[in-house]
């Protein structure tokens, strides 16, 4: 079985190209920075993983993904090799994306990508109360569509 699930941030905007021929297919390539759980010398570190998507997934990435966007992907590892212009053999490892989605809201993403912190202490904003994950939500049983 060859299955990979990753969550991280794009290190750059996706690079999208189209294959040639009658049935041109979009191919998106980008690098995902995935944080490591274990810190060395109390410093966070990350792995930078090359990803590629095809077709509609590639077109979606081109339209909506930007540098810094936090996404979650599911796919498979694919290795390959080619000979570069200097005649040296280069080995590659990519994640071929089968599923992809946003890992945070657009507002959170924009806040994290802005690079600046705003002081809203004087503003009058209403804040939605956050539900306690350890508590159940109260539901009127009469409104349920089943018995």
pLDDT tens digits for 55-101?
999 999 999 999 999 999 999 999 999 999 999 999 999 999 999 99
**Where is pLDDT greater, at 105 or 112?**
105
In a domain, 141, yes or no: no
**Where is pLDDT greater, at 107 or 86?**
86
- Count the domains in the chain: 1
Q: What is the CATH number of the domain that holds 13?
A: 2.40.50.140
- Expressed as residue numbers, the domain containing 59 is 4-110
In a domain, 116, yes or no: no
Query: Averaged over 16-35, what is the pLDDT?
Result: 94
In a domain, 95, yes or no: yes
In a domain, 14, yes or no: yes
Nearest to 71 by CA among 21, 13, 127: 13
In a domain, 71, yes or no: yes
Asked if the model's pLDDT at residue 6 lies above 50, the reply is yes
Asked if the model's pLDDT at residue 26 lies above 80, the reply is yes
> Taking the CB of residue 82, how many other CB atoms lie within 10 A of it?
9
**Where is pLDDT greater, at 98 or 112?**
98
Query: Averaged over 92-112, what is the pLDDT?
Result: 87
Asked if the model's pLDDT at residue 118 lies above 50, the reply is no
Q: What stretches of the chain show up as alpha helix (H) in DSSP?
A: 56-64, 106-114
Instruction: Say what the pLDDT of residue 137 is.
Output: 55
In a domain, 8, yes or no: yes
Instruction: Say what the pLDDT of residue 123 is.
Output: 39
Q: How far apart are CA 91 and CA 80, in angstroms?
A: 6
pLDDT band at 115 (very low <50, low <70, confident <90, very high): low
Buried b vs exposed e over 106-138: b needs ≥16 C-beta within 10 Å? eeebeeeeeeeeeeeeeeeeeeeeeeeeeeeee
Instruction: Say what the pLDDT of residue 38 is.
Output: 81
Q: How far apart are CA 38 and CA 133, in angstroms?
A: 26
Nearest to 94 by CA among 113, 73, 110, 111: 73
Residue % of the chain over a pLDDT of 70: 74
Tokens linked to 95: 């994640």
- Please say whether the beta carbons of 31 and 94 come within 8 A: no
């Amino acid at each position: 079985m060859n299955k990979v699930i990753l969550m991280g941030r794009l290190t750059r905007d996706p690079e999208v190209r189209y294959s040639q021929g009658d049935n041109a297919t979009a191919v998106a390539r980008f690098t995902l920075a995935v944080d490591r759980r274990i810190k060395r010398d109390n410093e966070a570190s990350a792995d930078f993983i090359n990803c590629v998507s095809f077709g509609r997934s590639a077109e979606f990435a081109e339209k909506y993904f930007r540098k810094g966007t936090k996404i979650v992907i599911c796919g498979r590892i694919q290795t390959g090799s080619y000979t570069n212009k200097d005649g040296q053999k280069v080995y590659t490892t990519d994640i071929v994306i089968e599923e992809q989605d946003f890992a945070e809201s657009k507002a959170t993403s924009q806040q994290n990508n802005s690079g600046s912190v705003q002081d809203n202490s004087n503003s009058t904003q209403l804040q939605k109360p956050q539900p306690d994950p350890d508590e159940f939500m109260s539901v009127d049983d009469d409104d349920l569509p089943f018995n």
